[in-house]
């Protein structure tokens, strides 16, 4: 490796700064300031260490304030060339984030957090591909390639083994690329086999096939990993129309619905507080497994009125609850007695190391999504908690880690319900029972602050709401600098990723997904062969 390949182009020198405020870099006269960009990486060569940092601001400077009052005539190229770099210059604000000392300890342990600053006039260069690889690692059995840095072709890898240890979040306004990044991370988790996944697929984007602006459709997890992914559905009719053959059709019995599930739906079902209290009274009367069926079988006769009077349920509360629960009764997959235990079937697949995608078909109403996700997650989590506690007592192996993916996360995790929902419990407990979350949302400011603070790794696309930006960056070191970086992201395909699974924040252009070449990059067989085989399988099924 020659020196030109190992080092990037020289940009300038350090002329000031501090550990908390970052380094001030004066650009060389030969360095075009218009080629600099917020979010790019640079390396500062100190006396004993190299400092790996990010450009967080770009500005212009002059050695004489008089030049800003009476600007020279730069129409003359000679005058413009003389002034540039002598009387005027470009400045960068660089935030050093890691040090690479070059000694044996550094080589073994990798880059370390910054605890000091480089000396005056230290040389500043563009980060090379080797520098980026040294910091973020290369693809292996734990690292997964998610994208490339700005203006570079080198790969930025995320540590999947660390990623699954905590709950994580993907944020950004609509249309920026959240779904594509979610697909990438799910592929990474399936390939590296660090955790099983349960994906509540609200818009049928992750299971068999997804949508894209650039190609007619993209392959979902089931097409890419037919032996490692099980496809569940609430809507068999929708699946058949899309020529998708699910592994299992989910039914939910009335006995699976508990008062907490109804309390979570208070807002979407427009229920009053007395109506929610009435549910708990009905449980005491009919029992936990029969309260809903018993309530729906009530009629308007005198016997019902006497029962409501004995339970101290006001008639207006009864009518309010009746209207809300009748909406649920009209859902075809909710039945008095389910033919099988859907939770047990999901656990059977997860126990075999398979990943489960639950498609909602045409039932994309947020009420349905919240109800089903809450019911299934609560019961699955209870099983994981029981198994983990047994393993701790018997000194046996804990269950394989599980990552649960939910969309519209603020509905489950807003401050008014986060303490009561199973999702809030999972987020706060981190990985206590080997269950974590992957939350996807375009309104992070609506998520409870405590939950946001527990998310280990966050990926955020462009956000245009100040509250959302503050929420995502809450508690992050160098928040003001990262806020500037986030505000300069392009509208699509550029994301700021930071947290537990990365050594430092990184702005990436997410890798391509959906073309034949991208499938080959993932290590899948030839796309034409894959298409032919899946079409044959569909033909056999139908």
Give yes or no for residue 106 having a pLDDT over 70. no
Look at residue 542 in the predicted model and tell me its pLDDT.
47
Average pLDDT, the chain: 88
Residue 88's pLDDT band (boundaries 50, 70, 90)? Answer: confident
Looking at domain 163-251+348-361+401-511, its CATH class is: alpha beta
Residue with tokens 């790996």: 52
CA gap 537, 378 in Å, rounded: 35
434: left (phi over 0), alpha (psi -120 to 50) or beta: left
Give yes or no for residue 301 having a pLDDT over 90. no
Structure tokens at 513: 């997904």
Express as a percent the part of the chain with pLDDT over 90. 59
Instruction: Locate the domains of the chain by residue range.
Output: 3-136, 163-251+348-361+401-511, 254-329
Q: Convert the pLDDT of each residue in 388-412 to its tens digit.
A: 998 888 777 788 999 999 999 999 9
Q: Convert the pLDDT of each residue in 343-386 to its tens digit.
A: 999 999 999 989 999 999 999 999 999 999 999 999 999 999 99
Span 183-189, average pLDDT: 95
Give yes or no for residue 528 having a pLDDT over 70. no
Span 52-65, average pLDDT: 89
Give yes or no for residue 210 having a pLDDT over 90. no
Span 301-327, average pLDDT: 88
Q: Is the dihedral of CA 119, 124, 128, 132 positive or negative?
A: positive
Distances (CA, A) of 97 to 19, 51, 181, 481: 10, 7, 25, 12
Residue 5's pLDDT band (boundaries 50, 70, 90)? Answer: very low
Give yes or no for residue 80 having a pLDDT over 70. no
CA gap 492, 484 in Å, rounded: 17
pLDDT higher at 298 or 54? 54
Neighbours of 534 (CB within 10 A): 18
Give yes or no for residue 498 having a pLDDT over 60. yes
Look at residue 539 in the predicted model and tell me its pLDDT.
55
CA gap 465, 173 in Å, rounded: 9
Residue 192: partners with Cβ closer than 8 Å, 6 or more residues away = 141, 142, 144, 160, 161
Q: Convert the pLDDT of each residue in 115-166 to its tens digit.
A: 899 999 999 999 988 889 889 988 999 999 999 998 888 899 999 999 999 9
**Of 38-47, 81-90, 226-235, 479-488, where does mean pLDDT reach its minimum?**
81-90
Half-sphere exposure of 5 (CA within 13 A, CB side): 3
Look at residue 212 in the predicted model and tell me its pLDDT.
75
Whole-prediction pTM: 0.87
Burial class (CB in 10 A: 0-12, 13-18, 19+), 163: buried
Residue 534's pLDDT band (boundaries 50, 70, 90)? Answer: low
- DSSP per position, 375-418: HHHHHHHHHHHHHHHHHHHHT-PPPPPEEEEESSTHHHHSTTTT
pLDDT higher at 74 or 283? 283
Span 204-215, average pLDDT: 83
For the chain, the first-to-last Cα distance in angstroms comes to 57
Give yes or no for residue 420 having a pLDDT over 90. no
Which DSSP letter does residue 255 get? G
Look at residue 540 in the predicted model and tell me its pLDDT.
55
Look at residue 508 in the predicted model and tell me its pLDDT.
93
Look at residue 105 in the predicted model and tell me its pLDDT.
55
Look at residue 167 in the predicted model and tell me its pLDDT.
96
Span 4-10, average pLDDT: 71
Structure tokens at 449: 């602050």
Structure tokens at 190: 């399936």
Distances (CA, A) of 158 to 75, 394, 521: 49, 34, 16
Look at residue 529 in the predicted model and tell me its pLDDT.
56
Give yes or no for residue 194 having a pLDDT over 60. yes
Residue 85's pLDDT band (boundaries 50, 70, 90)? Answer: low
């Amino acid at each position: 490796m020659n020196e030109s390949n190992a080092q990037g182009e020289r940009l300038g020198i350090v002329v000031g700064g501090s550990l908390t405020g970052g380094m001030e870099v004066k650009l060389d006269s030969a360095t075009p300031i218009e080629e600099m960009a917020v979010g790019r990486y640079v390396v500062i060569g100190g006396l004993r260490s190299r400092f790996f940092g990010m450009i967080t601001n770009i500005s212009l400077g002059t050695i004489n304030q008089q030049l800003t009052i009476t600007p020279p005539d730069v129409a003359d190229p000679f005058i413009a060339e003389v002034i540039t770099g002598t009387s005027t210059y470009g400045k960068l604000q660089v935030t050093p984030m890691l040090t690479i000392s070059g000694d044996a300890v550094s080589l073994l342990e990798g880059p370390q957090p910054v605890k000091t600053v480089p000396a005056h006039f230290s040389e500043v260069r563009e980060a090379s591909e080797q520098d980026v690889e040294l910091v973020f690692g290369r693809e292996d059995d734990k690292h997964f390639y998610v994208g490339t840095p700005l203006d570079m072709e080198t790969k930025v890898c995320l540590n999947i083994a660390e990623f699954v240890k905590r709950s994580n979040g993907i944020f950004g306004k609509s249309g920026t690329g959240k779904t594509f990044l979610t697909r990438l991370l799910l592929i990474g988790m399936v390939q590296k086999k660090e955790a099983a996944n349960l994906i509540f697929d609200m818009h049928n984007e992750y299971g068999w096939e997804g949508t894209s602006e650039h190609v007619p459709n993209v392959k979902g997890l089931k097409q890419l990993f037919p032996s490692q992914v099980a496809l569940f559905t609430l809507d068999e009719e929708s699946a058949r129309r899309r020529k998708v053959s699910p592994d299992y059709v989910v039914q939910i019995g009335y006995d699976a619905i508990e008062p907490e599930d109804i309390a979570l739906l208070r807002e979407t079902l427009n229920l009053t507080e007395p109506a929610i209290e009435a549910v708990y009274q009905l449980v005491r009367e009919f029992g936990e497994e029969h309260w809903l069926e018993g309530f729906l079988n009530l009629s308007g006769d005198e016997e019902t009125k006497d029962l409501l009077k004995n339970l101290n349920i006001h008639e207006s509360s009864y009518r309010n609850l009746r209207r809300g629960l009748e909406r649920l009764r009209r859902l075809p997959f909710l039945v008095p007695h389910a033919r099988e235990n859907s939770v047990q079937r999901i656990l059977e697949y997860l126990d075999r190391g398979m990943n489960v995608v639950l498609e909602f078909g045409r039932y994309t109403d947020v009420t349905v999504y919240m109800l089903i996700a809450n019911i299934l997650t609560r019961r699955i989590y209870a099983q994981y908690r029981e198994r983990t506690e047994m393993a701790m007592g018997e000194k046996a192996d804990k269950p394989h880690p599980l990552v649960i993916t939910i969309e519209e996360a603020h509905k489950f995790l807003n401050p008014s319900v986060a303490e009561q929902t199973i999702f809030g419990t999972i987020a706060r407990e981190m990985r206590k029972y080997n269950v974590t979350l992957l939350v996807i949302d375009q309104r992070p400011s609506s998520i409870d602050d405590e939950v946001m603070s527990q998310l280990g790794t966050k990926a955020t696309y462009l956000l245009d709401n100040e509250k959302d930006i503050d929420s995502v960056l809450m508690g992050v070191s160098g928040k003001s600098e990262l806020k500037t970086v986030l505000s300069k992201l392009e509208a699509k395909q550029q994301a700021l990723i930071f947290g537990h699974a990365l050594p430092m924040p990184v702005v990436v252009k997410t890798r391509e997904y959906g073309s034949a070449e991208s499938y080959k990059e993932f290590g899948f067989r030839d796309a034409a062969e894959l298409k032919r085989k899946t079409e044959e399988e569909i033909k056999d099924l139908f």
